[in-house]
A = this chain, B = another copy of it.
Amino acid sequence: MANALVILADGFEEIEAVTVIDVLRRAGVEVTSAACTQRHVTGSHQITVEADRLLDQLWSSSEQRFSEPFDVVVLPGGMPGSRNLRDDVRVRELLARQAAAGQWVAAICAGPIALEAAGVLAGRRATAYPGHALPSAKYTEERVVVDGRVVTSRGPGTAIEFALTLVEQLVGSAKARQLREGMIVS
């Protein structure tokens, strides 16, 4: 069974975070949501979600590394959530190690600014919410972009497609098709 880490910073975009957790769990992926600062995290539309863990609980400070491997690390967007992710050295470190280990990283909306800051977009095709520059990437306006093991997407309206793309990659396209139908995606 694949596993995923979804990181929740204060001011995360709620539709994007909840959609990816919900859809990946429907697909049988073991999802851990981890909060940057405190377990109860309030999103950019004043919805408070209780994260499963604190990011610090996953970090071994003696070894200066995350204690668990994840098949994918996912960043929701939202403001100031995306800036908080970008400015968190633990998040950047995790993303860089994840990419260096050949594992998946994924971000939606403004979330890709943290991928950019972690240096994992260099030369890759990627997208983000309009207006967010990704200077090291080959920017495109597709709704969901997969290049190597980097998945990026654009906003709340693309969150289900983004999540189903992760399902396709981590579980398989049969499961993604089944969920698409079961969730009544157009």
Contact = CB atoms under 8 A, between A and B. Distances in A.
Contacts of A156: 19, 22-23, 160, 183-185
Nearest to A155: B184
Nearest to A156: B183
Chain B CB within 10 A, most for which of A40, A46, A157: A157
A148 B3 CA distance: 45
B14 A22 contact: yes
Given A184-B129, A184-B155, A50 B45 contact: no
A interface, by DSSP: helix, strand, loop or mixed? mixed
A21 B50 contact: no
A157 B158 CA distance: 11
Number of copies: 2
A25 interface: yes
A26 interface: yes
Contacts of A158: 184, 186
A15 interface: yes
Given A40-B50, A47-B49, A154 B21 contact: no
Contacts of A186: 143, 157-158, 186
A160 B185 CA distance: 11
Given A48-B49, A50-B50, 6 more contacts: A15-B23, A22-B156, A25-B45, A49-B49, A130-B184, A157-B186
Interface of A: 13-15, 18-19, 21-23, 25-26, 33, 40, 43, 45-50, 129-130, 143, 154-158, 160, 180, 182-186
20 contacts: A13-B22, A15-B18, A15-B19, A15-B23, A21-B47, A22-B47, A22-B156, A23-B156, A25-B46, A26-B45, A40-B50, A47-B49, A48-B49, A48-B50, A49-B50, A50-B50, A129-B184, A156-B184, A157-B185, A157-B186
